[in-house]
């Protein structure tokens, strides 16, 4: 469920997922971050807050890819142009794709 009035393109969502994952890993790498709740440090608090934020963002999993009709390069669902040959792509949304 996503009640945020934010709209991201597929590429932006993909970048967000990458960033969220990177921050999560960086938090986990901080010494003391993996300690128990009894010995809570500012980092465990940050880790918990971050987890809640990630949950709220509800970025989901990476979307399915679809093939460029011209060069067969795999493109993000929702991409308007092929990243390989720059051909205009039919803009498919996940739901429309499922209905098709
Ligand atoms: Zn292409």
The closest alpha carbon to 76, from 4, 22, 17, belongs to 17
The rounded distance, in Å, linking the Cα atoms of 62 and 60 is 7
Predicted local confidence at residue 14, as pLDDT: 82
**pLDDT tens digits, residue range 12-68?**
888 889 999 999 888 888 776 555 555 667 778 888 899 999 998 888 877 778 888
Predicted confidence (pLDDT) at residue 2 exceeds the cutoff of 90: no
pLDDT at 37 (0 to 100): 54
pTM comes to 0.50
Res. 85 pLDDT band, cuts 50 70 90 = very high
Note every long-range contact of 91-94, with CB atoms under 8 Å and residues 24 or more positions apart, other chains counting: 92/66, 94/63, 94/64
Q: How far is the CA of 21 from the centre of ligand 1 (A)?
A: 28
**Spacing, Cα 17 to ligand 1 middle (Å):** 24
Number of H-type helices and E-type strands within the chain? 3, 2
Beta bridge partners, 88, equal: 81
Q: Name which of 14, 30, 22 is nearest 76 in CA terms.
A: 14
In the reported structure, the alpha carbon of residue 18 is separated from the centroid of ligand 1 by a whole-number distance in angstroms of 24
């Amino acid at each position: 469920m996503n009640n945020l009035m934010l709209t991201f393109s597929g590429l932006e969502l993909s970048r967000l997922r990458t960033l969220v994952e990177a921050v999560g890993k960086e938090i986990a790498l901080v010494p003391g971050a993996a300690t128990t709740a009894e010995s809570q440090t500012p980092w465990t608090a940050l880790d918990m807050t971050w987890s809640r934020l990630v949950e709220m963002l509800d970025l989901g999993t990476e979307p399915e890819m679809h093939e460029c009709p011209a060069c067969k390069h795999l493109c993000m669902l929702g991409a308007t142009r092929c990243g390989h040959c720059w051909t205009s792509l039919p803009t498919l949304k996940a739901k429309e794709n499922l209905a098709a």
